[in-house]
Structure 1
Amino acid sequence: MRFNSLLVVVFLVLTLVIAGCGGASTSDKAGKQDTLRVGLVPNQAPDKIKAQYEPFRKYLSEKLNMPVELFVATDYAGVVEAMANDKLDVAYFGGLTYVQAKQRAKIHPIVTEIDQETKTTKYYSLIIAPAEKDTKSVGELKGKVFAFGDISSTSGSLYPRVMLDKAGIKVPDDFKNVVYTGGHDATAQAVQNGAVDAGGIEGRILKRLIAKDTVDEAKIKVLERHLVEGYPWVVRDSLDKQLEAKIVDAFLTMKDPVLLDLMRAEGFAKVSNETYAEAEQEAKRLGLLNPKK
């Protein structure tokens, strides 16, 4: 009898456990979003990026009334991988990273920042050189050593190539050597220290590095600049549409000047896939949709 009673108890416990698991599974299948997972491209050192966007994480969490997690990979490809494998709901990409990612993931852009310098949704990509060198134009860089950031960076790889191509320089054939630093801050240091003859960098990041005395403005000169469409905030197509609308609204109604400054923005504007048509066209032309160093 005791053995039979024990079997009954075990059966009841297992029934409750299975029922509980079934409830959790039903909730997941219903598409309930309990945490928003946000990915950020590491255009600078990953720890700096995560710290920079912590106030934004808190803001978004409060606006959506749900937990928000930040993810920063060690390189741009890592954020694309995470989005492609449905490990992220939202991602902050560069234009090039977005057009690369949409080849593998069902995603679309929603907003981008209004730039503090240009007062538009565009910002500057620069080609810079050490101030002490005699180089006066991009065309003089043939046969030199050039630094890109991450190969999938828009302003640190794609648009520097556009400017180089315009000057008749092919990458990598026309350089003595090509270096990939991994980030804009590392590129600035390489140029400042004379480790390379020139490099491609995002203008906004360079300004911040100078403001923080990380880079000495007197040691760097700008050879050329090109306007680039702003970084898109991207969501997966399958994200709940009501939640997507709330995320868009959180960006468009952001008013705190301190938070906006941390986001390098005066505000935000809506964007679509068509906004990044030029980046996609140039990436195809220059062989960067499936990049190989």
Structure 2
Amino acid sequence: ENEPIMPEEILSGELSLKKLIIALKANKNPEKMLAEKQDLEKFLSQKINRSVEVIIPTDSATVVESFRNGTLDLGYLSSTDAARNLDQATASILLVHLKNEKPYYNSIWLSLKDKPYQSIEELKNKPVAFASRSSTSGYLIPTWDLSKKGYVGPEVALTDFFSQTIYGTGYVSAVEKVLSGEVEAAAVSDYVYKGDNKYLSDDQKSKLKIVQEQGPVPAHTLCVRSSISKKDKKFLQQALMEINLENPGLRDRIFNGKLVVVDQNKHLRVTREALEIQKTLKP
């Protein structure tokens, strides 16, 4: 039982699961998500010789439940969602992605380029959008930053500081609210604006500017259902890490960078600290 499993043995072995179900984050436009779903299904089903189904839940709360009842095997989750699953013992971190060779990145506030805003305090009494309630870079870390600066707290809610707070269904939906004029600024991850055009077009980027950066944001995680056997977890970890060499293009489109093994508690330290502070804020 406690014999270490060697990599050669793993991939020559096979997955005891007859089918693999993976959840991706709904953070891009629907056409791109559909292409990612099909490409990942095709690549992985050939790799592990099993049928693979990729689902794109719009509500991350369903992920915890799906891990618990065994209807989900792997999930690409924000560190916020990963922490929730770890705390409920429904899943553990299998891998995380690196961004510029680091397992973290920054959160940013974006506004229209022609607006005068230079910092978050200038957005007081203005309407803003967060990427989603479960986003680490698009909600948790910017809220943590506001709390550290004393703008929100046990007596002051987000809705006391801002005139209105709207929650999107992912990065793009929040930025679209800035472009349409519905809100003055949106909190998203820095690579949405600084990275390639996976999320926004050059035309959209040309109309925007960064008001403020905050961080660090622990990178997204690939979590695996707790009730899967140790041998299957090792097999999946190995199979997914081979995407690094075999299909870096697909890996970067879906997982934003190289997949690596980390110490899960160390990786989630900042996220958990921010979640604790969030509990003390006036709702």
Does TM, normalized by the shorter one, top 0.5?
yes
Q: How many residues align?
A: 259
Alignment partner for residue 34 of structure 1, among 12, 18, 36?
A: 18
Correspondences of 1:112-191 after superposition (within 5 Å):
112-115=96-99, 118-170=100-152, 171-191=158-178
Alignment partner for residue 43 of structure 2, among 44, 59, 79?
A: 59
TM-score, scaled relative to structure 2: 0.82
Kept in 1: contact 2:96–2:220 (CA 8 A): yes
Q: CA deviation at 1:47?
A: 5.6
Residues 36-71 of structure 1: CA distance to partner in whole angstroms, max 9, x if unpaired? Answer: 111122223456424224322222222222111111
Cα RMSD for the two superposed structures = 2.5
Kept in 1: contact 2:85–2:92 (CA 8 A): no
Q: Which amino acid aligns with 2:208?
A: I
Other structure's SS at 1:33 match? coil
Q: In structure 1, what is the Cα distance between the partners aligned to 2:65 and 2:199?
A: 34
Deviates more, 1:165-174 or 1:237-246: 165-174
Unmatched 5+ stretches in structure 2: 1-14, 153-157
Kept in 2: contact 1:155–1:202 (CA 8 A): yes
> Which residue is 1:96 aligned to?
80
> Which residue is 2:192 aligned to?
205
Q: In structure 1, what is the Cα distance between the partners aligned to 2:88 and 2:58?
A: 19
Q: In structure 1, what is the Cα distance between the partners aligned to 2:259 and 2:16?
A: 28
Q: Based on CA coordinates, which of the two structures has the bigger radius of gyration?
A: 1
Q: In structure 2, what is the Cα distance between the partners aligned to 1:273 and 1:196?
A: 36
Q: Which amino acid aligns with 1:145?
A: P
Other structure's SS at 1:102 match? helix
Q: Which aligned segments of 4 or more residues in structure 1 are displaced greater than 4 angstroms?
A: 208-212
Kept in 2: contact 1:110–1:272 (CA 8 A): no
Distance 1:134 1:123, change over 3 A: same
Kept in 1: contact 2:64–2:90 (CA 8 A): no
Residues 193-221 of structure 1: CA distance to partner in whole angstroms, max 9, x if unpaired? Answer: 32211111122233445875275222111
Q: Which amino acid aligns with 2:103?
A: T
TM-score, scaled relative to structure 1: 0.80
Residues 235-278 of structure 1: CA distance to partner in whole angstroms, max 9, x if unpaired? Answer: 11221222211111122222123223323544211023311122
Q: In structure 2, what is the Cα distance between the partners aligned to 1:210 and 1:73?
A: 19
Identity of aligned residues (%): 25
Kept in 2: contact 1:45–1:183 (CA 8 A): no
Residues 128-174 of structure 1: CA distance to partner in whole angstroms, max 9, x if unpaired? Answer: 11212111111211111110121111111111212322333222321
Alignment partner for residue 228 of structure 2, among 229, 239, 245?
A: 239
Q: Which amino acid aligns with 1:219?
A: K
